[in-house]
Structure 1
Amino acid sequence: MSDTTTTADGRPAVRLERRLPHPVATVWDAVTDPRHLSAWYPLAVVSLQPHVGGGVVFDDGEGTRYDATITDYTPPTLFAFDEHDPESPGRENDDHLRITLRPDADGCVLVLTHVPSDPDTVEGAATGWRGCLDALAAALR
């Protein structure tokens, strides 16, 4: 397990690494299948078009939907997207989330990198993602 604050494209970012005792294919399903992703991601996934340029629609459960655009999609090792905030359509940057998987002995290593639109939220984002990754590990069990 490794958590660090870093930079990506000159922007503050959080990087979390977790070793999971599951094969890459199992974890890939947990991070890209809308039903499984909704079990641990902070927002419910309404739809996901699994290809670069495809859309993802999230629902916060309170009537707000968030759209995202898939920027990288290389099964079963890379899934990344830019999440657009409907409350701030003119903001300079979108949140960017990148998940990579690599085999490791009898399991795999997941690396989640989040580049928030607001650099002041990096520490809070790290705390939130720790909880999400704990939920992912529990869902995989």
Structure 2
Amino acid sequence: MDQLATLHQANGRYALRFERFFSYKPEEVFRVITDPHSFSQWYPFATGEMDLKLGGEIAFDDGEGTTYEGIITELKEPYTFEFREVDDLIRISLQEEGKGCQLVFIHIFDDKEMAMYTAAGWHRCLGVFKQIVNGQPVEWKDNSVELRELYREAFDRNR
């Protein structure tokens, strides 16, 4: 199983931090991150509509009648992709490491009570992202309950 996220607090907000290693160069992983079709396969509610530029919009649809847009707040190819989704901030960065790269995924949000649910969800999403990067078919694992429990225990230990 992939490494669990860590939970941090800063300025009255919370940040989930995930790290994943890929045996590909940042350019290759960045292409998957920013490709609208790939993005819509692993990122929740993404529609595949993305204006890939600083200040560009990303369209989301929750499937229950609510649509909204994210705004790209930082874009430095092939190392940083950051955007604001409602009040949350998502930052995805890549650093060269050996013959591959380290991905750091950070989600900044307000509601600590949602941390274990949010972490479990992102853990699953990043699992699918890894499948896409590795050219594997997308398969969503049915492990939400197990992951929520793992994160609840991990976050309770770190109080």
Aligning the two structures, in what range does the TM-score lie when normalised by the shorter sequence?
0.7 to 0.9
Find the aligned partners of 1:9 and 1:96 in 2 and give their Cα distance: 14
Q: Percent identical across equivalent pairs? A: 37
Calculate the TM-score normalised by the size of structure 1. Answer: 0.85
1:31 aligns with 2:33: yes
Larger radius of gyration: 2
Deviation larger for 29-38 or 42-51: 42-51
8 Å Cα contact 1:8-1:115 kept in structure 2 = no
Aligned counterpart, 1:121: 114
Aligned counterpart, 2:99: 106
Deviation larger for 97-106 or 1-10: 1-10
CA RMSD of aligned residues (A): 1.6
Runs of 4+ in 1 over 6 A off after TM superposition: none
Between 1 and 2, higher relative CO (CA 8 Å, sep ≥ 6) is seen in 1
Which structure's residues are more often helix, by fraction? 2
Find the aligned partners of 2:17 and 2:114 in 1 and give their Cα distance: 13
- 1:9 Cα deviation from its structure 2 partner: 4.1
Task: Supply the AA of the counterpart residue of 1:71.
Answer: T
- 1:111 Cα deviation from its structure 2 partner: 0.4
Give SS of 2:120's match: helix
Give SS of 2:5's match: strand
Task: Supply the AA of the counterpart residue of 1:114.
Answer: H
Deviation larger for 54-63 or 23-32: 54-63
The change in CA–CA distance for 1:45 and 1:8 in structure 2 (over 3 A counts) is farther
Find the aligned partners of 1:59 and 1:48 in 2 and give their Cα distance: 13
1:135 aligns with 2:135: no
8 Å Cα contact 1:6-1:13 kept in structure 2 = yes
Task: Supply the AA of the counterpart residue of 1:19.
Answer: F
Aligned counterpart, 1:16: 18
- 1:26 Cα deviation from its structure 2 partner: 1.3
Gaps of 5+ in 1: 85-93
